[in-house]
């Protein structure tokens, strides 16, 4: 006599799998994101050199006030477990666009070794370098094409020497120039990954006219590679 028990067991198992899939959360809390492009942040060692922010956790959503849709203020940062022998800090904020081009949003170097934090919209600390988003010596707030979540990486470097590039540079220092100067001097580094999702219907801010004297996007400093690892 044919028994239906094995078939019933298989049907119940399939229903259970489908129910689990339906209730699983999207990666990073963003329902439309691909886990391959927005992986969860890696855990850090307890005593590792670490950069963080009081307004956004690693892998979290950057508040709008620090973007082009808000105040355009640079975010506050703090860092701990500074390596012995650190003589200065440097910072690079970048975003890798879908075409594989690295866009630089924030360059800051020659930060005094006694400094362990940056205030919101910090001024007068270190030396500002060139953002390639608008080719200006300033923080470029995230303001890319929407909608969709974009990841921005703030990398802080603890260096064994003060670079003082402003004494020899005839043009604003780029991320490429900075990474070259830092070779062999990086004692430690850490990333703070932040996510920003622009509202649907938003357009790119990258087409605004440049300030007088700016270089056109796509020039020698408009692309490049991510900061050194």
Specify the DSSP element, H or E, that contains 20.
helix 5-23
> Is residue 171 a part of any domain in this protein?
yes
Mean pLDDT, the chain, as a whole number?
76
Number of domains in the chain: 1
Residue with the larger pLDDT of the pair 58 and 16 = 58
Neighbours of 63 (CB within 10 A): 16
> Does the CA dihedral 120-175-68-49 come out positive or negative?
negative
> Is residue 6 a part of any domain in this protein?
no
Residue with the larger pLDDT of the pair 128 and 15 = 128
> Is residue 30 a part of any domain in this protein?
no
**DSSP symbols for 97-139:** -TTS-EEEEEEEEEE-TT--EE-TT--SSSEE--BTTTTBSS-
- Write the pLDDT tens digit of every residue in 30-41: 333 333 455 566
Report the CATH number at residue 184. Answer: 3.90.280.10
Domain hosting 66: range is 47-206+213-229
Predicted confidence at residue 148, as pLDDT, reads 79
pTM of this prediction? 0.71
Average pLDDT on 57-79 reads: 94
Which residue's entry shows tokens 């930060």? 111
pLDDT at 217 over 90: no
> Is residue 7 a part of any domain in this protein?
no
């Amino acid at each position: 006599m044919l028994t239906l028990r094995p078939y019933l067991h298989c049907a119940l198992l399939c229903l259970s799998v489908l129910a689990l899939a339906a209730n699983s959360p999207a990666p990073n809390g963003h329902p439309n994101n691909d886990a391959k492009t927005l992986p969860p942040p890696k855990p850090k060692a307890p005593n590792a050199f670490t950069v963080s922010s009081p307004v956004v956790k690693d892998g979290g959503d950057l508040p709008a006030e620090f973007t082009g849709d808000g105040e355009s203020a640079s975010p506050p940062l703090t860092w701990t477990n500074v390596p012995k022998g650190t003589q200065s800090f440097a910072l690079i904020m970048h975003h890798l666009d879908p075409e594989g081009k690295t866009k630089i949003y924030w360059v800051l170097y020659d930060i005094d070794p006694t400094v362990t934090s940056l205030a919101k919209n910090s001024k007068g600390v270190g030396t500002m370098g060139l953002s390639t988003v608008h080719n200006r010596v300033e923080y470029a707030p995230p303001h890319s094409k929407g909608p969709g979540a974009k990841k921005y990486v703030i990398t802080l470097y603890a260096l064994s020497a003060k670079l003082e590039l402003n004494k020899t540079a005839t043009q604003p220092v780029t991320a490429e120039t900075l990474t070259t100067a830092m070779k062999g001097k990086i004692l430690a580094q850490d990333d703070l990954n932040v996510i920003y999702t622009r509202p649907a219907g938003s357009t790119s801010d990258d087409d605004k006219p440049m300030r007088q004297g700016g270089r056109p996007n796509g020039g020698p400093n408009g692309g490049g590679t991510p900061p050194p690892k």
